Amino acid sequence: MKIICFLILIFTHQLVFSKSNDSPDLDFKKVQSQSWNEWKKELKKTLKKENFNDTTLELLDGIDFNPKVIKYDRKQPEFKLTFQKYLQRNITEKKKKEINKVYKQNRELLLLLSEKFKINPTILVSLWGIETSFGKHVGKLDILRSLLSLAYDGRRQKFFMKEFKLALKILEEGHISPKDFRGSWAGAFGQTQFMPSTFHKFAIDFDNDKKINLFKKSDALASGANYLNQVGWNNNLLWGEEVKITITDKLRNLSQKKKYKTKKFWEKNGISFKNNYNERVLMRLVIPDLEGKQFFLVTKNFDVILDWNRSNYFALTVFLLSDEIIK
């Protein structure tokens, strides 16, 4: 039952709160005129011209269509979680205890990565916890099968075909074996749930074994730290905090337009900060859901986490869970 609830939560989160250009389009109708096998045959010819080796091309012969991932890609949740309910499901008392235990167990590695990549170790371990529950839930679906099925389906063929080809390159480079290449229905894999394109941009071989294995803790966390560093994490900035504010149309408009304002501006609008911020710090207002019962002022580090996953729910949860760590 716990596993089912976990999958429902993750699935709901991915579909409701993902990037707008990645959201399922229920009106889409498949336009693929070729049969699955005919399409694969033509694809093999194309991949051959793109210099993929014969061993890699043979993998396509054993891949059958997976209608399950198409259903996942189409499905709309029956309800939308409020932010409060989302928090209640993701930041439980058990999770708070677990993240502190995991942080202590991996403190040496986390601090090493923090020093090397200039990132906050509590944010890294929080991402790890939210993405895969510290490596315990990495997904069980065949990555090649998922990506190829989604590409054939055609709704986002260009995107998924690119990811499929990059996944093939991961195999050709010897980082992982085909049988172990498993992950989410959308093609994300490893303890930090990287897409193949993210792997090629940010994944690193931290343990120097000549392979990048995101199913190994050291490579996964180092790659996650490298990602945060490369997309602009500022270790001199606090992430922000929840605030009490009398909301007005003007402030709501600023929130919708993601406008950053000075600390002084927010103080003039009645904000009393709990944390100490530099007087020149820029912050913007985040209202996570339509209920409008909770308000957050965040710094530009918030946008770094949004680059990882473009969900306000996800980003706020990462930060709030990180705040539960007792150093």
The pLDDT confidence band at residue 290, using thresholds 50, 70 and 90, is confident
Q: Which residue has the higher pLDDT, 296 or 291?
A: 296
Which token pair is 155? 């709704």
First to last CA, the chain: 33
What is residue 74's predicted lDDT score, i.e. its pLDDT?
A: 85
pTM of the model: 0.88
Report yes or no on 277 lying in a domain: yes
Report yes or no on 129 lying in a domain: no
Task: Return phi, psi of residue 215, to 5°.
Answer: -90, -5
Report yes or no on 68 lying in a domain: no
Report yes or no on 257 lying in a domain: yes
- Bridge partners (DSSP) listed for residue 241: 297
Report yes or no on 284 lying in a domain: yes
Please give the residue range of the domain that contains residue 248: 240-298
What is residue 77's predicted lDDT score, i.e. its pLDDT?
A: 57
Report yes or no on 202 lying in a domain: no
- Bridge partners (DSSP) listed for residue 283: 261
Q: Give the chain's domain count.
A: 1
Taking 3-state DSSP, the helix, strand and coil percentages for the chain, each rounded to the nearest 5, stand at: 55, 5, 40
Report yes or no on 81 lying in a domain: no
> How does pLDDT run across 155-182, given as a tens digit for each residue?
899 999 999 999 999 999 999 999 999 9
Report yes or no on 23 lying in a domain: no
> How does pLDDT run across 17-61, given as a tens digit for each residue?
333 333 333 334 455 688 999 999 999 999 999 999 999 999 999
The pLDDT confidence band at residue 75, using thresholds 50, 70 and 90, is confident
Of 125, 127, 118, 120, nearest in space to 101 by CA: 125
